[in-house]
Amino acid sequence: MTLLAKSEKQGGLLLHEHTRHVVEAIEPMAKAYGFDAELARKGAIIHDLGKGHPAFQAMLIEKPKERQEEWLAQLPAAGAIRKELFYRADGRNLFHRHELSSLLFLPLFPKDEWPVFIDMVVAHHKSVVSDGRRLGLLDLVEDGDLDEVFERHAEAWNDWSPEALGIATQLGIDTQAVSLEEACKAFQFAYTYARAKPDGWSRWRGLLMGADHFASAYMHETISQTSGLFQVPDLTFYDERAQSPRAYLYPLTKVRTNYESTHTLVTAPTGAGKTDFLMRRCQGRVFYTLPFQASINAMYRRIAEALPEADVRRLHSASRLEMEDEAEEDVELQRHPGASVKVMTPHQLAAIVFGTPGHEATALDLAGNDVILDEVHTYDALARAMVVQIVRTLTRLGCRVHIGTATIPTALADKLVAVLGGPKQVYQVRLDDATLASFNRHNVHKLPDEMAAREVIAEALAAGEHVLFISNRVDAAQDRFRWVKDTFGDEVSALLIHSRFKRGERKKLEEQVEDFQRFDGPCIVCATQVIEVSLDISFDRMVTDAAPLDSLVQRFGRINRIRDTTTLGQLKSVHVIAPPEEDGAIKPYDSAEVRASFAVLPDGEVLDERTIQQRIDTVFPNVEISDVAIHFIMQEEGTYRIKELQHNKRSVIIEALDIDSATCILYSDAERYKKARWDNRVAIEIPVSHRLRYRLRVFGEPLPFGSYPYVIPDEHYHPDGVPLGLVVPSSTPQPDTSTSFNQRAL
């Protein structure tokens, strides 16, 4: 009998092959993380032996109803178990979990090693308790009884266990037949052990999950792909650049790198050299976080060019699209552990504070390394609470945390310093007043309304300028882009970018934004906050909606950004439109913060960098950090509110932070989406807000695969051929009471 690990659709990988791959992955990971390598190897060998169970093997067959009976007929005891294979006597489904059948092989090893192997095996797919489908060991026993669950997972034991033992023998384990009685005692031991687990998280579980996922991705290439993992990057490039002739333009290059303090908090204007300074502070592998997809792409390119020999990766929801034409960057590797430098969003670190699937593997990879949190001021109250908790958790993991910001309220800075262990633990850096004054680059003008804003733009384009027109809302950006196209036609190069484009299309738009600044003639980019942070662009003029002051300062940083001998002391104009009278029209921002921010701005005068901190503290005398602590797995005093071997559903993050997590696709893309591999589906997905999904339900329930997208009519995307992206109807359409729109699409 030949045992499979993967279905035919997944390549038909044999169980002995997959097990060998996991062993190949876990050995270098165990060494890097400081585990007992021999124990790790043994756990990897038995973790999937339970896949030999006939229920799992039958599930892998592409057409189970037609071929299960044929496969089961190979087993001598098939007649006895055939009916019971999938159902209890009362007709209810009695689920089989292959990892629970793997526990029956514990008697192969000394009993004092069992706890380690249980940690590695029992929950490497499902939470041991409170699983979403109640398929964890403790869930199954609670819903049935221990004997029944054991009998289900030991069915036909004498028929398939010898084949599984043969795999263990091939990989160097001294094996002997395990009796059903021995298997039962091991299963009972595992249940008692799992039930008594304390609060906290299991490092062994994280190790096995990381290796299992890596091996599943690379299969026969596992050894070659692990060879370059866990290398500390050589960051001397940044020290050398600090000595370059142009270093005087970036005052942070003159600040010494102080290793006496563990952590860092640096506050400095855009263009002062924060990135280089933060990298100079790092001593281990680096995790660099930024808030937006576009800024991640830009930062990834900067670091990859600076460190061509290092394993530099990026990770965000559409990062695979950014890699299509970059042969040197391994697409699959991005989400796996061991990078020298990984550029990502804080939300991708969120597993360690919310306890979502994989939180142990993420914590293992982070522990003892350097984490850069760049532009922490750009988050709302909910995300800000998450960032503070991430900082708290990172310190518990022994990480060195380096925070960089252009604008941060003193109240938030004080909170972060306290979480990091107090002033003695944090190297706090600010530029002196004379240096700050050299960064005065913007004249600020307040505009009364939209009409005045459009007059300014018309004059600027007539003068041949490059203009950024920033909106707080997608629908406003679309309306303004329509106005630009109607008013200036083909005489002015125009571009629209926001979050509601197909992800593949948005990738190209981000590239075009950087190209626009090199145009000879007039051009305009209509955008939302997606280009607010860390894009290395330098336009001539900005017109923007009023927003919180920290966001405005970031937006201003896209104007007159370049610092060289020809631009020092040069001033360019930014124009801020007065906030609307209706509070609801100011969303997604807090209306009080926006009004206060507009009030403290100068009008017709230079924005003096020396006064920005005072203005920030006037707007944010106290910083709200929303109370989402009920969702955090670790409390302030360091105790946990989650059991080892347990994780929470991913939806916890979405619910806690109100993340824009839904997706939709066009009717014309539905069939292609259904047939595409998961990684190719990303290009045609359109992200939409969590709140907007309720309005999309009028077109039917989401598709039951992929990212569970809603299917919407093509007429809502690029209407009349204008490249507007997804245009949401101003009023909710009437529900389709005929056949489901999604069903018709497929």
Q: Is the dihedral of CA 116, 121, 124, 129 positive or negative?
A: negative
pLDDT tens, position by position, 352-389:
998 988 999 999 999 999 999 988 765 666 777 888 89
Beta-carbon contacts of 555 under 8 Å, excluding residues fewer than 6 positions away, are: 468, 470, 532, 542, 544, 547, 574
How confident is the model at residue 627, as a pLDDT?
61
Cβ proximity of 413 and 438 under 8 Å: no
Q: Specify the pTM.
A: 0.86
Give dist(CA 60, CA 98) in Å, integer: 12
Give dist(CA 667, CA 658) in Å, integer: 27
Q: 481 or 631, which is more confident?
A: 481
- Structure tokens of 607? 């924005």
How confident is the model at residue 386, as a pLDDT?
83
Domain borders along the chain are 8-226, 236-435, 441-607, 660-745
- Structure tokens of 20? 């060998």
Q: Is the dihedral of CA 627, 629, 632, 635 positive or negative?
A: positive
Model confidence at 601: pLDDT above 60 = yes
pLDDT tens, position by position, 107-132:
999 999 999 999 999 999 999 998 87
Query: Given this structure, which CATH class describes domain 8-226?
Result: mainly alpha
Give dist(CA 161, CA 3) in Å, integer: 11
User: Under CATH, which number does the domain 441-607 receive?
Assistant: 3.40.50.300
- Exposed, middle or buried by CB within 10 Å (0-12, 13-18, 19+), for 238? buried
pLDDT tens, position by position, 244-257:
888 888 899 989 98
Torsion of CA 135, 137, 140, 141, to 10 degrees: -170
Give dist(CA 13, CA 220) in Å, integer: 10
Give dist(CA 291, CA 347) in Å, integer: 8
Edge-first strand listing for the sheet containing 263-267:
312-315, 341-344, 286-289, 370-374, 400-405, 263-267, 426-430
Mean pLDDT of the 517-541 span: 83
> Looking at domain 236-435, which of 3.40.50.300, 3.40.50.720, 1.10.3720.10, 1.10.10.10 is its CATH number?
3.40.50.300
| C-alpha distance from residue 682 to each of 70, 358, 421, 654, 686 (Å) | 38, 21, 41, 19, 9
Identical fold for domains 236-435 and 441-607, yes or no, is yes
Residue 444: its H or E element: strand 442-447
